[in-house]
Structure 1
Amino acid sequence: MENKPFTVERLLQLPLFNGVQVMAGKSGVSKEIYYVDNMETPTLTGFLRPNELILTTGYSFRHEPAMLCRLLDEMHRVGGAAVGIKTKRFIQEVPQEALDKSNQYGIPLFDIPLEITFIDMTHTVIDQILNRQAFLLREVREVNQQFTNLVLNRRTTELVVLIGHLLGCEAAVLNENKEVESCTTRFGGTDFVDKRPVQVGSKVMGYLAISRQLGEQEHFEEMCLDHAITVLAIEFTIRQSQQLQREREQESFLVELFSGSSHQEDLLRYRAQQLGIPLGRFFYVMVLQIRSANEKQGRDLYNQLVQKVNKPGVYTRKGVIINDSLIVLCSTVHDSAEKQRSEAEQVMSELAGACEELPAHPQLFAAIGGIREQLSDVPLSRQEAHKAMAICLHTQPKQKIVHFHEVLVEDLLLDAAGHPVLNALTSMLIEPIVVYDKEYGTELLATLSAFLRTGGNTKRVAEELFIHRNSVLYRLDRVSEIIQNDLNDPEVRFRLDVAMRVWKTKDIHSKAVL
C-alpha cells in the first residue's frame, strides 16, 4: 500500500462510490478521514470528532432540513471531514444554505445513491482506515526502532539528522538552558518555529526544536516527532545517570584526596584525569563556609553553591561538601597569594547571588590554603585553609576572604600555645586592659587592637571605630597608664602585637584547625 492519506478524494475513487455526486465543498476533498459514523439522531453536539466522515439518510432532517446547516457548523468547529447523505430517501433536496456552508467551510457534501447500503459503505471505509493505520503503525514502529538504536548507541547527531529528514525541515536538540547540543547542518540557533520539551518525570531536561510547524493533517510526522521526544528522554536519562555516577566518583575522589589517605602522585593524577578533576601546574584549596543561616537553609545553600562551583564548562575547580564546609580544589598557573586571592574573589562574586536570594541573607566566607605543586600535598593546603578560617573567625570575624599567609604568625603562636613566655606577655599586657573594660564598660582593648593592626595610624583607627581622633588618643593614653608602658616604643608595640595575637587565638582548639 502506498503511503498516501485516506482522503475524501480517495474515498470517492473507490468502486463502491461510483456514481456518488459531490454537491458542494469540493475544496475540502483533500481532508483525511480517520473515523466514520452513521448519524440518524437529532443530537448534533458532543459526539463529532476531527477528520470524521458522517453518513446519514437525512431522517433526522426530514421535518427540519435546516438542521443540516447546524451539523455543518458543528463539523466545522471540530474539524470534521465530510458528510454523505441519501437525499432521495427523506429530504429530496438539500437547502441552499447548507450548500453555501459546505462551500464556505470546505466540508464536502455528497449525495449517496439509494442502492448503496450503509453496511457496505461502513465496511469499505473502515477497511481503508485500518489499512492506513496499520501502514502508519508499521512505519512508525520502524522509525521508532531506528530512533532507539541510535540513542542506545549514543549517536544523537544521527538521530537529529533522521528527524530532520522525516519531517522535511531542520532540527536540533537543545539542553535545558536552550543551548544547541546537536543539529542538522543548516539549523540556525534561533531558526526554530516549534520547540517540544523533553521531560524525564516532571523535569524538563531539554528540547527538540524544528524549523517548521506541522500541519493538522501530518499525523505520521506528528507520531514520528512524539517518538523522537520519547527516545530523547531516554538519552537524557542515560546522560543524567552517567553524570550522577561521575559526580559520585568525583566526590569520592575529592574526599579521599583531602583526607590525605593516598600519597601516590602518579595514581592520583591518573584518577583525576579520568574523572575530569582539574589538573594544572599548581594546586590550592579554598574552604567556603556559610554563617548566619539556619540548619535547613544552610544545607540547601551548600547544595546550590556546590552546583555553581562544579557547573559544566569550568575546568579549574571542583568542590565537595564535608562537615558543613564547601571544600574546593583549585587548579592554577599562578603561584602567588595575590593571584589566589583574585581568583577567590571571582568565585565569591559568582556565588554571592545565591546568598542574596535567601530571606535571611546568610554570609559567605572563604579561606585559602597555600600553593602546592603535587596533588599528594593538597591535604596540607586544605589544613592551612581550615586553620586560616578558624583563626580569622576569632581575630577578624568580618573579613570575608583570608589567605593562610595572612595568619602565619597566629599559626606559629598556636603551635606554641601554653608557653610560659606567651602566658606572661598576655598576663602583663592584655589581661589588665580586659579587666578595666569589664569594670568601666570601656573599649580600650578594641582600640588597642585597631591601633596595632593599622601600624599606629590613629586616623584609621578613628574611622574604623567611628569615633573622633581625640577619643582614640585619650583611650591610648589610658592603655599606657594601665600597662605602664609607652605605646610609641617599638619594642613595646612588638610585644603588644604578639600578646594581642595570642589573646585572640587562645580559644582556638587544635581540632578546629585540622
Structure 2
Amino acid sequence: MNSFDIKLVAGEAGMYNSVKWVHMVENEEISSFLDGGEIVFTTGIGIFEAKDFDLLSLVKENIQNGASGMVVNVGPYIPEISETVIAYCNRLGFPLFVVPWEVKMARIIKVFCLYILEAEKYEMEISEALEKALHFPKQDNIYAPVLEKYGFHPDNKIQISVLAGEFKIDEKTTLVDELLQKINYITYQLDGKVTISKSDKHYILFSANMDEAKIHVFSNRLTEFLNSKLKDPEIHWAIGSEIKQLHDIHKSYLRVKNLLKINQRAMIFNPITDDHNLGAYELLMEYADKTGAKEYINNMIEPLFEYDRMNNTDLCVVLSLYLESNGRVNDVAQKLFVHRNTINYKIKKIENLLSCDLSDFFVRLNLAVAFMMKAVL
C-alpha cells in the first residue's frame, strides 16, 4: 500500500475493524446500499455537486451503514480534510485514509480486493486444518502442512486455549465482530498469532509465538473486554501446555476440555487456569472412567447432595467452603454472610449425615478428594 502514498489521518483505534469488501460511495443514496464491513472509497464528486451535503455528512452516513473505514481521494472535489472530520473519526475510531488525486483509485481497490480474498482463503484453510487437528489427529498429513504454512509450527510455541462461560453471543450481532477485532488487536500488540474455532459451548483459540506470560495477558484483556460488553458473564479459561508435535493438538484439546470442566464444576479450591497446574487432578483424571470412582463419591459425599436436594439446604456448599478454608469456621461464616454459630450447627449436621469427624485431617482430605473427583466425572 505504501506505493500508493495512502496515509491514515484519523481513527487509528479502528484499524483492526474487520473488512469484508470494498465499495465506491459518492453520496448518501449509494451509502445506503452498504452491507456492513466495507472499506468505502470516495472522490468527493457527489459532495461537490450537492449543496447541503459535505464530507462529515458522508462519513456519518457510512458509519451508520456499517462501513469499516473510508479512503478519500483528495483533489479538486475534496482539497483537504477538516479538523472537524478528523476529530469525529478519532472519537468514533473510524479509520480515515487519504490518497493524492494522481493515484488511480481502481488500482487501490484492486489491491484491497486481493488482500481480502487472501485473508478469506487463510481463514478457510486454517479453520479446516484446525478442525481436523482437533478431531481427526491421525490425518496429520492433511492438516500439518497447512498449519505450518501459516506459521503454526511446534517451534513457534503453539498452544490450545478454551474460553467458555455463562454468556451467549448472538452470531447476528456486532459483538461477534467486535470480539474478533479485539482478539486480532490484542494478538498484534503481543506480536503473536491466534486463530479461532467455535464449538457449541465454547471458543477454541489456537495460538503461536505467544509464551505463557503473553497468553495470560491475552486472556486477561479479553476477559476485561467481555466484562465491559456483557452483563455479569461467568467466564472460564482453560489454557493448555505448549504443544511439541502437531499430532498432539487433539490430546492437548482433550486435556484443556477436562480442565474447563473442572473449573466449571469444582466446588472447592480456586480455579486452575493452566493444565500444568492440575496437581492431584492429574491423578484423578486417570481414574475418572473407573467404576470405583463413582462408588467412592457415592460413599463419601452423595448422601449430602441427596439431603440438599430433598430439603433445599446448602450443606454441600458449607462443607466445600469448610474444606477450602481448612476448617476455619469464621472464614466460612464470612463468605456466606451468616453467624459462626449457624456454620457450627450445619457442621454438626454434616457430621451426623456422613458419620464422620470433620476435625480429623484425613477425613477432610478424603472428602476433598471426593469433591475433586465429582468435578472430574
TM-score bracket for this pair, using the shorter chain length: 0.5 to 0.7
Residue number in structure 1 paired with 2:164: 289
- Label 1:302 to 1:459 Cα distance change in 2 as closer, same or farther (>3 A): farther
Q: Give the conservation status (yes or no) of the 8 Å contact 1:429–1:496.
A: yes
2:110 to 215, 234, 239: 234
Q: 1:440, CA displacement in angstroms?
A: 4.2
Higher relative contact order (CA 8 A, sep 6+): 2
1:305 to 179, 185, 193: 179
Task: Please give the alpha-carbon distance, in whole angstroms, between the structure 1 residues aligned to 2:372 and 2:167.
Answer: 25
Q: 1:177, CA displacement in angstroms?
A: 4.6
Residue number in structure 2 paired with 1:392: 263
Bigger drift between 435-444 and 449-458 goes to 435-444
Q: Identify unmatched segments of 5+ residues in structure 2.
A: 16-38, 43-61, 80-99
Residue number in structure 2 paired with 1:198: 41
- Label 1:504 to 1:290 Cα distance change in 2 as closer, same or farther (>3 A): closer
Residue number in structure 2 paired with 1:248: 124
RMSD: 4.2
Residue number in structure 2 paired with 1:173: 7
Secondary structure at 1:310 match in 2: helix
Q: Give the conservation status (yes or no) of the 8 Å contact 2:191–2:209.
A: no
- Label 1:278 to 1:423 Cα distance change in 2 as closer, same or farther (>3 A): closer
1:457 to 328, 331, 335: 328
Q: Which amino acid aligns with 1:328?
A: L
The structure with the larger Rg is 1
Q: 1:354, CA displacement in angstroms?
A: 4.6
Task: Please give the alpha-carbon distance, in whole angstroms, between the structure 1 residues aligned to 2:252 and 2:323.
Answer: 29
TM (normalized to structure 2)? 0.66
Q: Give the conservation status (yes or no) of the 8 Å contact 1:283–1:331.
A: yes
Q: 1:288, CA displacement in angstroms?
A: 1.1
Residue number in structure 1 paired with 2:207: 330
2:149 to 274, 281, 285: 274
Task: Please give the alpha-carbon distance, in whole angstroms, between the structure 1 residues aligned to 2:324 and 2:358.
Answer: 13
Task: Please give the alpha-carbon distance, in whole angstroms, between the structure 2 residues aligned to 1:465 and 1:226.
Answer: 71
Secondary structure at 2:104 match in 1: helix
Q: 1:286, CA displacement in angstroms?
A: 0.5
1:357 matched to 2:234: no
Q: Give the conservation status (yes or no) of the 8 Å contact 1:306–1:319.
A: no
Task: Please give the alpha-carbon distance, in whole angstroms, between the structure 2 residues aligned to 1:351 and 1:484.
Answer: 43
- Label 1:174 to 1:197 Cα distance change in 2 as closer, same or farther (>3 A): farther
Q: Give the conservation status (yes or no) of the 8 Å contact 1:317–1:328.
A: no
Task: Please give the alpha-carbon distance, in whole angstroms, between the structure 1 residues aligned to 2:197 and 2:156.
Answer: 25
Task: Please give the alpha-carbon distance, in whole angstroms, between the structure 2 residues aligned to 1:209 and 1:278.
Answer: 42
* Deviation string, structure 1 residues 131-175 (Cα, Å, up to 9, x no partner): xxxxxxxxxxxxxxxxxxxxxxxxx44443xxxxxxxxxxx3339
Q: Give the conservation status (yes or no) of the 8 Å contact 2:272–2:278.
A: no
1:320 matched to 2:196: yes
* Deviation string, structure 1 residues 341-394 (Cα, Å, up to 9, x no partner): x73354332353255335x55443211123333333222221111111122222
Q: Which amino acid aligns with 1:256?
A: K
1:344 matched to 2:246: no
1:400-439 paired onto structure 2 within 5 Å:
402-407=273-278, 409-410=280-281, 412-417=283-288, 419=290, 421-439=292-310
- Percent identity for Structure 1 against Structure 2: 19
- Label 1:157 to 1:381 Cα distance change in 2 as closer, same or farther (>3 A): same
Residue number in structure 1 paired with 2:360: 489
- Label 1:475 to 1:354 Cα distance change in 2 as closer, same or farther (>3 A): closer
Bigger drift between 383-392 and 342-351 goes to 342-351
TM (normalized to structure 1)? 0.50
Task: Please give the alpha-carbon distance, in whole angstroms, between the structure 1 residues aligned to 2:76 and 2:271.
Answer: 53
Task: Please give the alpha-carbon distance, in whole angstroms, between the structure 1 residues aligned to 2:173 and 2:270.
Answer: 23
Q: Which amino acid aligns with 2:220?
A: M
Q: Give the conservation status (yes or no) of the 8 Å contact 1:368–1:384.
A: no
2:343 to 472, 489, 492: 472
Residue number in structure 1 paired with 2:71: 207
Secondary structure at 1:328 match in 2: strand
1:108-119 paired onto structure 2 within 5 Å:
none
Task: Please give the alpha-carbon distance, in whole angstroms, between the structure 2 residues aligned to 1:417 and 1:354.
Answer: 33
Q: 1:290, CA displacement in angstroms?
A: 4.3
- Label 1:173 to 1:273 Cα distance change in 2 as closer, same or farther (>3 A): farther
Q: Which amino acid aligns with 1:207?
A: V
Task: Please give the alpha-carbon distance, in whole angstroms, between the structure 1 residues aligned to 2:280 and 2:306.
Answer: 26
Q: 1:415, CA displacement in angstroms?
A: 4.3
Residue number in structure 1 paired with 2:22: none
Secondary structure at 1:330 match in 2: strand
Q: 1:228, CA displacement in angstroms?
A: 2.5
Secondary structure at 1:321 match in 2: strand
Q: Which amino acid aligns with 1:329?
A: F
- Label 1:422 to 1:290 Cα distance change in 2 as closer, same or farther (>3 A): closer
Q: Identify unmatched segments of 5+ residues in structure 1.
A: 1-155, 161-171, 182-195, 216-223, 509-514
* Deviation string, structure 1 residues 395-452 (Cα, Å, up to 9, x no partner): 2599777333454544643543464544443333313323433454432211111122
- Label 1:503 to 1:198 Cα distance change in 2 as closer, same or farther (>3 A): same
Secondary structure at 1:402 match in 2: coil
Task: Please give the alpha-carbon distance, in whole angstroms, between the structure 2 residues aligned to 1:287 and 1:177.
Answer: 32
Residue number in structure 2 paired with 1:105: none
Q: Give the conservation status (yes or no) of the 8 Å contact 2:162–2:237.
A: yes
Task: Please give the alpha-carbon distance, in whole angstroms, between the structure 2 residues aligned to 1:407 and 1:473.
Answer: 32
Secondary structure at 1:207 match in 2: strand
Q: Give the conservation status (yes or no) of the 8 Å contact 1:433–1:445.
A: yes
Task: Please give the alpha-carbon distance, in whole angstroms, between the structure 2 residues aligned to 1:321 and 1:390.
Answer: 18
